[in-house]
């Protein structure tokens, strides 16, 4: 970037400068003009414009945001010992087996029974965690367990986390006493940092002990101070919060639907006591043959109550999406008969009561008992995810009638399938859905875009033709693919991020129709992923934002309140994608995307007579087209901030190759 101090403020200087500029600058640059009409906002930018979409995919919840270190802690996976192995230390003999828990409860059916015949140096079990257990030196961890000794006697337990080379990372002990189930907790401090530890639980004397809900959890999590629940992974929550998201959509996309109706997401099974949250297979377990993840289940430790808390914690409106009586149409497509839809609709009504109802309402009481007396202030509810066909419309109507009758203020979000290209019978299905939405008028229609990145540059005008009087639009999932939809080759590189940024300039220009947007999916474990690309990557110890993440962050932090008309002209065939918005206090954000390998030297003309400080804040995200961030190099492509001293009614600014630039002009 160059400072063009001499050219600011005076029209005469600017004109002379332009003249010089046209002649002097070399061919490696393109020249452009950007005219901004500062006195003519065309429409408001929705305060809900930028939010987050969370789904338990790629170890997003279990193994990710939900910081439980133990996989299959309650032995409820169909393969009851998945994640566990039996260990016998010198001289030890015994047996470890999963048994029916007494007293029996369907949601908490099993426990581990360890019978020690010879204690030797310890007999027990070892858990492998989620691709290992990540522990940080000096951090404290709670080990907790429900346990009993059926004979009524006692059993000493030794607890340890060990590295792959058997180095002790955590060590502790406790004594289980008596025949009744009781809760035990100890705190241990990690001696070293270890990404791939295992947790060992060893019985140290002869006898029998039963264990359930074996858990290892950091003491210091993103827990809200006054909340009784264990919190979420701090570094991930921090990245989410820094986007300053206006909303959090949860619990996802296809996971809402389930591959069959029996496997759909049912929010009522995800609240209350952790032991009563019945484990369910994660639909991404078997979705992709090339990325089978047989150990992927949902413990629901991160359930609906926690999603509401997380929304509150990061300052986002909660936007839950519910199953509409249809399983994923890319899978079984199973449909609930209309006359059996009652419980599904009741789930929606009860969810609104759970979120907003008073303490003396049945579901409001549950929220209060869980530790949140104040209502969550739910305003939005999605009915169905990527559904299509007349069966969806029939079911939506039933939900709509019941919800509007009971809760007329709740804004309803209806789906619009997925993009035509990957829809069976694509464009016709979308056209059909829209013909219905125009009549039924849901408040918001949710459209998804997963395309190869060049397509995003062409989608800028996509919403120009949408009916301004019709439903508003939620671009509820989108991501630019470097290779193909959900291809394992996809990269989170800068050119894809810039394609998304260009797309967003088109969405802001259509901000009178498009009121919400979210990139998808949000998070992925570097060893536990099924889908690429993703906004944030993590391993067991750290995480990083992709260039796509920084695009989200920059747009969200510079969304503004009103859209200002602008005109862009670039010489040759290159394009500069520009969106200009203003805050209520008069600050103007000029966001410009240059996705070409040449810099663009633009004369910026501020029309409308408003005066701005000569000093502008500049934030630039730039690099090589293929550049990515990685665990080793998390900051290869990150925004850099500087100051530009040269703003005037006419000034020249050089937009770097492969860049997103945000200029903040201060009145």
> Where along the sequence are the contacts to ligand AHR (CB under 6 A)?
55, 57, 252-254, 385-386, 418, 477, 520-521, 531
Separation CA 533–CA 486 (nearest Å): 7
Nearer Cβ to ligand AHR (56/582): 56
Q: Token pair of 412, please? A: 């309803």
Residue 597 CA to its chain's centroid (Å) = 31
User: Measured between alpha carbons, how far is residue 63 from residues 131, 144, 253, 299, 383 in Å?
Assistant: 8, 18, 19, 10, 28
Nearer Cβ to ligand AHR (21/288): 288
Nearer Cβ to ligand AHR (198/532): 532
* Helix (H), strand (E) at residue 620: strand 615-622
Q: Token pair of 117, please? A: 């015949």
Q: Token pair of 620, please? A: 């630039």
How long is the chain? 667
Q: Is 97 strand, coil or helix?
A: strand
Task: State yes or no: is 386 an active-site residue.
Answer: yes
Least separation in angstroms between CB 63 and ligand AHR: 17
Nearer Cβ to ligand AHR (253/318): 253
Residues paired with 133 in a beta bridge? 197
Nearer Cβ to ligand AHR (500/582): 500
Catalytic residue among 210, 287, 334, 386: 386
Instruction: For the chain, report the end-to-end CA distance as a whole number of angstroms.
Output: 22
Nearer Cβ to ligand AHR (376/388): 388
Q: What share of the chain is helix, strand, coil (3-state, %, to 5)?
A: 25, 35, 45
User: Measured between alpha carbons, how far is residue 7 from residues 566, 578, 602 in Å?
Assistant: 21, 22, 13
Separation CA 415–CA 325 (nearest Å): 13
Q: Provide the CB-side half-sphere exposure for 457 (13 A, CA).
A: 15
Least separation in angstroms between CB 179 and ligand AHR: 46
Taking CB atoms, the residue at the shortest distance from ligand AHR is 253
Q: Cα angle at 196 between 192 and 202, to 5 degrees?
A: 85
* Nearest residue to 49 (alpha-carbon basis) of 521, 633, 599, 562: 562
Instruction: Please say whether the beta carbons of 135 and 302 come within 8 A.
Output: no
Separation CA 495–CA 182 (nearest Å): 55
User: Measured between alpha carbons, how far is residue 109 from residues 73, 105, 271, 275, 276 in Å?
Assistant: 13, 5, 17, 10, 10
Separation CA 267–CA 277 (nearest Å): 10
* Nearest residue to 503 (alpha-carbon basis) of 441, 389, 419, 380: 419
Q: Please give the DSSP secondary-structure letter assigned to residue 499.
A: H
Neighbours of 80 (CB within 10 A): 18
Nearer Cβ to ligand AHR (385/523): 385
Residue 253 CA to its chain's centroid (Å) = 11
Nearer Cβ to ligand AHR (282/385): 385
Q: Cα angle at 161 between 156 and 163, to 5 degrees?
A: 145
Separation CA 269–CA 266 (nearest Å): 6
Nearer Cβ to ligand AHR (418/664): 418
Instruction: Point out the residues that are catalytic.
Output: 386
């Amino acid at each position: 970037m160059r400072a063009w101090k001499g050219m600011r403020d005076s029209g005469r200087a600017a004109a002379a400068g332009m003249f010089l500029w046209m002649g002097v600058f070399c061919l490696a640059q393109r020249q452009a003009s950007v005219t901004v009409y500062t006195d003519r906002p065309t429409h408001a930018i929705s305060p809900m414009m930028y939010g987050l979409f969370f789904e338990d995919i790629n170890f997003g919840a279990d193994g990710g945001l939900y910081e439980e270190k133990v996989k299959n802690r309650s032995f409820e996976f169909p393969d009851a010992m998945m994640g566990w192995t039996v260990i016998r230390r010198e001289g030890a003999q015994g047996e470890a087996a999963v048994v029916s828990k007494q007293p029996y409860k369907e949601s908490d059916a099993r426990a581990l029974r360890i019978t020690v015949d010879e204690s030797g140096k310890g007999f027990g079990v070892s858990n492998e965690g989620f691709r290992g257990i990540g522990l940080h030196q000096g951090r404290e961890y709670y080990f907790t367990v429900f346990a009993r000794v059926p004979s009524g006697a006692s059993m000493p337990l030794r607890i340890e986390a060990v590295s792959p080379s058997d180095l002790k990372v955590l060590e502790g002990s406790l004594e289980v006493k008596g025949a009744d189930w009781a809760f035990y907790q100890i705190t241990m401090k990690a001696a070293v940092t270890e990404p791939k530890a295992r947790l060992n639980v060893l019985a140290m004397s002869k006898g029998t002990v039963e264990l359930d809900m074996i858990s290892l959890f950091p003491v210091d999590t993103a827990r809200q101070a006054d909340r009784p629940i264990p919190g979420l992974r701090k570094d991930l929550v921090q990245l989410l919060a820094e986007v300053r998201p206006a909303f959090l959509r949860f619990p996802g996309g296809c996971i809402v639907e389930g591959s069959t109706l029996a496997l759909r997401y049912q929010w009522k099974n995800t609240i209350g006591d952790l032991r009563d949250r019945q484990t369910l297979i994660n639909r991404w377990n078997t979705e992709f043959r090339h990325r089978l993840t047989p150990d992927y289940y949902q413990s629901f430790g991160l359930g609906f109550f926690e999603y509401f808390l997380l929304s509150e914690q990061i300052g986002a409106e909660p936007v839950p999406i519910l199953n509409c009586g249809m399983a994923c149409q890319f899978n079984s497509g199973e449909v609930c008969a209309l006359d059996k839809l009652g419980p599904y609709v009741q789930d929606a009504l009860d969810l609104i009561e759970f979120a907003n109802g008073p303490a003396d309402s049945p579901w409001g009481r549950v929220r209060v008992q869980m530790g949140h007396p104040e209502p969550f202030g739910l305003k939005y509810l999605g009915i169905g995810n990527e559904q299509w066909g007349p069966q969806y419309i029939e079911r939506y109507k039933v939900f709509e009638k019941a919800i509007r009758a009971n809760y007329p203020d709740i804004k309803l979000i209806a789906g619009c399938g997925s993009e035509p290209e990957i829809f069976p019978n694509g464009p016709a299905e979308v056209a059909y859905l829209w013909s219905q939405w125009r009549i039924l008028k849901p408040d918001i229609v949710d459209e998804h875009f997963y395309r190869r990145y060049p397509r995003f540059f062409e989608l800028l005008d996509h919403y120009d033709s949408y009916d301004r009087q019709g439903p508003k639009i939620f671009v509820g999932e989108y991501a630019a693919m470097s290779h193909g939809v959900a291809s394992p080759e996809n990269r989170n590189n800068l050119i894809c991020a810039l394609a998304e940024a260009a797309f967003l300039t088109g969405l802001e220009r259509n901000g009178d129709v498009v009121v919400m947007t979210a990139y998808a999916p949000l998070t992925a474990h570097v060893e536990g992923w099924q889908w690429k690309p993703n906004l944030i990557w993590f391993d067991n110890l750290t995480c990083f934002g992709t260039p796509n993440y920084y695009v989200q962050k920059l747009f969200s932090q510079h969304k503004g309140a009103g859209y200002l008309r602008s005109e862009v002209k670039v010489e040759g065939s290159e394009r500069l994608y520009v969106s200009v918005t203003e805050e209520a206090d008069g600050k103007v954000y000029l966001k410009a995307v240059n996705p070409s390998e040449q810099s663009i030297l633009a004369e910026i003309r501020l029309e409308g007579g408003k005066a701005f400080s000569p000093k502008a804040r500049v934030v630039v995200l730039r690099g090589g087209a293929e550049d990515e961030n990685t665990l080793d190099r998390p900051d290869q492509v990150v925004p850099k901030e500087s100051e530009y001293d040269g703003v005037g009614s006419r000034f020249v600014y050089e937009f770097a190759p492969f860049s997103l630039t945000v200029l903040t002009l201060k009145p």
